[in-house]
Amino acid sequence: MSDEKKRAVHKTSVGGQALIEGIMMRGPRGAAMSVRLPDGTIDTEYKDYRQIKDKIKFLGWPIIRGVVSFIESMIFGYKCLMESAEKSGLDTEEVNEEEMSKLDRWISDHFGPKMMAVISAVAMVLGLLLAFALFFYLPALIFDGLNSLTKGGILPLKGLIEGIMRILIFIAYIALVSQMKDIKRVFSYHGAEHKTIFCYEHGEELTIENVRKQSRFHPRCGTSFIFVILIISILVASLLILIFPELGNPENRILWMCIKILTLPVTMGFGYEFIRYAGRHENLLTKILSAPGLWMQRLTTKEPDDSMIEVGITAFQAVITDNPEDDAI
């Protein structure tokens, strides 16, 4: 096979995340984030990103590595997101002193950054509680009501029905937040990230023109990962109900939700392995299981403008090597 042909079918291990006016990429050279500054220039900063599985070998085993990678990516991605907000000027907008209440001014004068850290922590806790209520408690509560109306006739379908409700809630949530102006721009940078990776994988030179014509829907996207987890969770929940039907009783609702949470690491582990597999193979199985996530990317990715594509190219070039084989999955 010629070098040109090998290049054309090359699959890369590089992945990334859309930020506030920027993109973070992770690759063989480590991680880097490129952010469009208020003056129009692009700031690129290399980040110290070391995976714990490189130090503790068993954390790199199949299934286990999925949970570890998810947690590490969430923590690292959140830090990059906050840093990009600061660099892009989103959180440095001047506030009119006259518009500040006495309480706001007192908090700012006496606590400053410490209070912001507390507020961020409280917001994170509230976010987790909201996620628990929406994706665990609400589906279980609705199902118990429906099951009561049918006098237990739909109990064997508990896992399936609750899973479908979680998917619908997730779609509705993404559809709502995607209408926010700032989120739309993040989703456009998300599209630039995918297009840049596809351009490299297709063996084309990383130019704005070449990147622009690529697809914004990528099978290794985190959106696809979430959908795969939701599908696997339906299978796991349905199996548990078949084996232990008493878990479907309303009096066991809290126990049922706790079990669902405890099975999350398993579903994340299998979901991660599938996404890795889908990134390397294209067959009927991967197409079927990847389809919902790819469809959902119509909401989580938007077409980027040329300035966003330029940021994506800058971030990508910062983490790839000169040898394409070193970037392979």
The answer to whether position 142 is within a domain reads yes
Rounded to 10 degrees, the C-alpha dihedral 115/124/174/292 comes to: 150
Question: Which residues, including other chains, have CB under 8 Å from residue 275's CB and lie 6 or more apart?
Answer: 219, 220, 224, 225, 228
The answer to whether position 296 is within a domain reads yes
Q: How many domains does the chain have?
A: 1
Q: How does residue 94 score in pLDDT terms, banded at 50, 70 and 90?
A: very low
> pTM for this structure?
0.83
Phi first, then psi: what are they for 297, rounded to 5°? -65, -15
The stretch 239-247 carries a mean pLDDT of 91
Q: How does residue 279 score in pLDDT terms, banded at 50, 70 and 90?
A: confident
Residue 285 to residues 217, 278, 290: CA-CA distances in angstroms?
18, 9, 8
The answer to whether position 82 is within a domain reads no
Query: By the 8 A CB rule, do 61 and 46 touch?
Result: no
The answer to whether position 231 is within a domain reads yes
Query: By the 8 A CB rule, do 314 and 33 touch?
Result: no
The answer to whether position 140 is within a domain reads yes
Q: Hey, how many other C-beta atoms are within 10 angstroms of the C-beta on 93? A: 6
Q: For the sheet with 22-27, list strands across it.
A: 15-19, 22-27, 30-36, 42-47
Is it the case that residue 141 has pLDDT exceeding 80? Answer: yes
The answer to whether position 36 is within a domain reads no
Range of the domain at 216: 102-319
CA distance 87 to 17: 16
Is it the case that residue 304 has pLDDT exceeding 90? Answer: yes
Radius of gyration from C-alpha coordinates of the chain: 22
The answer to whether position 161 is within a domain reads yes
pLDDT at 244: 92
The overall average pLDDT reported for the chain is 85
In this predicted structure, which of 20-29, 97-106, 252-261 has the lowest mean pLDDT?
Answer: 97-106
CA distance 248 to 236: 14
Q: Taking each helix axis as running N to C, give the angle between helix 222-243 and helix 158-177, from 0 to 180 degrees, rounded to the nearest 10.
A: 160
The stretch 315-323 carries a mean pLDDT of 84
The answer to whether position 327 is within a domain reads no
